[in-house]
């Protein structure tokens, strides 16, 4: 019996001790001084102001809804948009989507989060450091890129052989990627291995094909010590970079054309310039202050010193034809004018914007200008970044089988007459 009481008394003591300990406040139960009072005050304010908050929320929704409704009332459907086939509904949806007042804010907010937190923009731009932007075309590759490089270089070699048969010299100015000239402003993203070795590989391959080239990497890299040779927020070179490139081309072209013409260039004012890569950072207008500062651009204009007011390319039989991309086509870079001044010869510009470097060359070879008045020299401006990328514009041309340029060009070739191997320009015909 004594043993039983002793045994049963022990659990009771433990329970009593636990009960007393539970009554003591623990550090977690003790609120910091003033915290409980502030919390209670906040709850009281919320209960007191709840009707006001609800009214403000309802008013905001009503205002936004009223603005959206007012803009929706501006919808004017076209006569051909029917109700039963869904055309009217799609047109109204597109109109309302554009008129909705919060759409722009949402787009800008999401873009600002991507840009500030992750250093990214829309597909098309690679965000670097120090306010530098790069086109993602200098970083892109796909499974066909190695073959596309070989085919594009083979096409350049074929053009060179065909021009030689017509006693026309070819000089290929290979424009290095902006990321290659300004690697110090790249962020964490780097070009893939194939692109890192691409410039030297292209020069070696073209020289093996017997094509005369101008390596612009060294002069553009050296020139940036004096002035920027590429724009910070754009894919293109600066007018200064274009002049540096033109001087390098002129040195390589000595003996190929007869100089003697006098040209002079002058600046055409300085202005703020929003580069084309801003299009992939839609932060404006709500978060425009987060964007990099725009570039300063000073365009140059070249004129014939012997004939005042005569602009470049006015001569009826120019010795030099320039073919290429927007690096040559856009007047604000003045690459063609810089070539005229550096070579002391007239230059006719056949470059095109938005078609890559290859389709403009094939279009020129198929033109009446070339057939009736071939030049002594063709300067072909070819940015290296296009070499590993598919060129959809080539689908319009029948190419010799040896220089078929990927799936697009091959599919185009089977739709028309089969081209023969060789260098005749009759092999390059546009699709009807």
Residues marked active site are found at 234, 236, 326
End-to-end CA distance of the chain: 116
Residues 174 and 153: beta-carbon distance below 8 Å: no
Name the phi and psi angles at 381, rounded to 5.
-85, 115
- Rounded to an integer, what distance in angstroms lies between the CA atom of residue 195 and that of residue 142? 12
Q: How far is CA 380 from CA 90, 140, 163, 169, 350, in A?
A: 46, 23, 12, 11, 10
Degrees (nearest 5) of the Cα angle 329, 335, 338? 145
3-state helix, strand, coil in the chain (%, to 5): 50, 15, 40
- Rounded to an integer, what distance in angstroms lies between the CA atom of residue 196 and that of residue 213? 19
Q: What is the sign, positive or negative, of the torsion defined by CA atoms of 324, 326, 330, 332?
A: negative
Beta bridge partners, 173, equal 214, 381
Residues 408 and 431: beta-carbon distance below 8 Å: no
State whether residue 19 is helix, strand or coil: helix
- Residue 369 makes CB contacts below 8 A (sequence gap 6+) with 348, 350
- Give residue 57's region: left, alpha or beta (phi > 0; psi -120 to 50): alpha
Q: Work out whether strand 263-267 and strand 397-398 pair parallel, antiparallel, or are unpaired.
A: unpaired
- Reading the block at residue 164, the tokens are 């030689």
- Rounded to an integer, what distance in angstroms lies between the CA atom of residue 381 and that of residue 328? 7
- Rounded to an integer, what distance in angstroms lies between the CA atom of residue 116 and that of residue 281? 11
Beta bridge partners, 35, equal none
């Amino acid at each position: 019996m004594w043993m039983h009481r002793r045994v049963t008394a022990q659990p009771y003591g433990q329970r009593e001790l636990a009960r007393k300990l539970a009554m003591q406040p623990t550090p977690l139960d003790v609120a910091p001084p003033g915290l409980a009072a502030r919390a209670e005050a906040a709850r009281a304010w919320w209960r007191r102001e709840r009707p006001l908050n609800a009214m403000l929320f309802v008013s905001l929704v009503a205002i936004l809804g009223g603005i959206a409704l007012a803009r929706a009332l501006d919808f004017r459907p076209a006569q051909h948009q029917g109700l039963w086939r869904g055309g009217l509904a799609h047109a109204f949806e597109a109109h309302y989507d554009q008129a909705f007042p919060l759409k722009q804010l949402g787009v800008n907010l999401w873009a600002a989060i991507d840009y500030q937190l992750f250093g990214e923009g829309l597909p098309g731009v690679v965000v670097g450091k120090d306010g530098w932007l790069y086109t993602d075309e200098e970083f892109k590759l796909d499974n066909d890129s190695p073959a596309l490089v070989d085919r594009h270089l083979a096409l350049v070699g074929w053009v060179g052989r065909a021009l030689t048969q017509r006693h026309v010299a070819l000089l290929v100015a290979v424009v290095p990627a902006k990321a290659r000239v300004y690697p110090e402003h790249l962020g964490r993203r780097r070009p893939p291995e194939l692109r890192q070795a691409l410039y030297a590989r292209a020069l070696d391959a073209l020289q093996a094909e017997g094509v005369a080239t101008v390596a612009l990497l060294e002069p553009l890299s050296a020139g940036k010590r004096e002035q920027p040779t590429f724009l910070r927020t754009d894919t293109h070179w600066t007018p200064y970079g274009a002049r540096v490139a033109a001087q390098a081309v002129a040195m390589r072209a000595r003996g190929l054309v007869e100089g003697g013409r006098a040209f002079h260039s002058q600046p055409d004012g300085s202005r703020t310039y929003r580069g084309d890569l801003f299009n992939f950072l839609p932060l404006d207008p709500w978060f425009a202050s987060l964007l990099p500062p725009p570039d300063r651009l000073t365009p140059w204009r070249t004129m014939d010193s012997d004939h005042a007011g005569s602009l470049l390319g006015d001569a009826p039989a120019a010795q030099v034809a320039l073919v290429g991309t927007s690096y040559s086509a856009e007047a604000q870079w003045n690459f063609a004018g810089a070539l005229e001044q550096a070579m002391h010869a007239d230059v006719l510009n056949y470059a095109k914007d938005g078609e890559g470097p290859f389709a403009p060359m094939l279009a020129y070879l198929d033109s009446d200008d070339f057939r009736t008045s071939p030049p002594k020299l063709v300067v072909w401006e070819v940015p290296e970044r296009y070499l590993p990328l598919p060129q959809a514009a080539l689908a319009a041309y029948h190419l010799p089988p040896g220089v078929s340029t990927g799936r697009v060009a091959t599919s185009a070739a089977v739709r028309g007459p089969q081209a023969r191997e060789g260098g005749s320009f009759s092999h390059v015909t546009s699709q009807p």
